[in-house]
Amino acid sequence: MGEETHAEKANGEVVSESSVKYYTLEEIKSHNMCKDTWLVIHDKVYDITCFLEEHPGGEEVLLEQAGADATESFEDVGHSIDAREMLEQYLVGEVHMDDRRKDCTQDTFITTSGEASSWTMWFIPVLAAAVFGLMYRYYTLEQQSS
């Protein structure tokens, strides 16, 4: 069900039977000039040639990433929802399945943040109990001495 067959053209472009076009990283890399600029963001391929001059963040930052995966830099800037919606109009296809990066950084991030939250989950009650215990002791000693 939903299986796609892919045929690779001589220029590296991979055409699937569905309407989505798949491109290899090799093919994407060749679109790295100011007159022909492609970018990859979240495994989607964008032809941003005519957007270079319009980009509010300047064309230099886009040209630095030309022909490559710009997901990290795009996310680092914290682009608005409007900026994300703008992407749609430049979409030309997707990165070929074999060339997609395994998102292990995200896994590590989730694991690390999970560990951090479980650590605080036991540390805060223990600290609160210790403070409460000390206060109680101080209070009872005060009353005994008076």
Q: Does 73 bind ligand HEM (CB under 6 A)?
A: yes
Cα 7 from chain centroid? 29
**29 lies in the site for ligand HEM, by CB under 6 A:** no
Min dist CB 95 to ligand HEM, Å, is 15
The full DSSP string for 70-92 is: -HHHHHHHT--HHHHHHHGGGEE
Distance of CA 96 to the CA centre of its chain: 18
- Residue 40, interface with ligand HEM (CB under 6 A)? no
- Residue 22 or 65: the one with the smaller Cβ distance to ligand HEM is 65
The C-alpha atoms of residue 90 and residue 29 are separated, in whole angstroms, by: 17
Query: Quick one: 15 or 92, whose CB is closer to ligand HEM?
Result: 92
2 binds ligand HEM (CB under 6 A): no
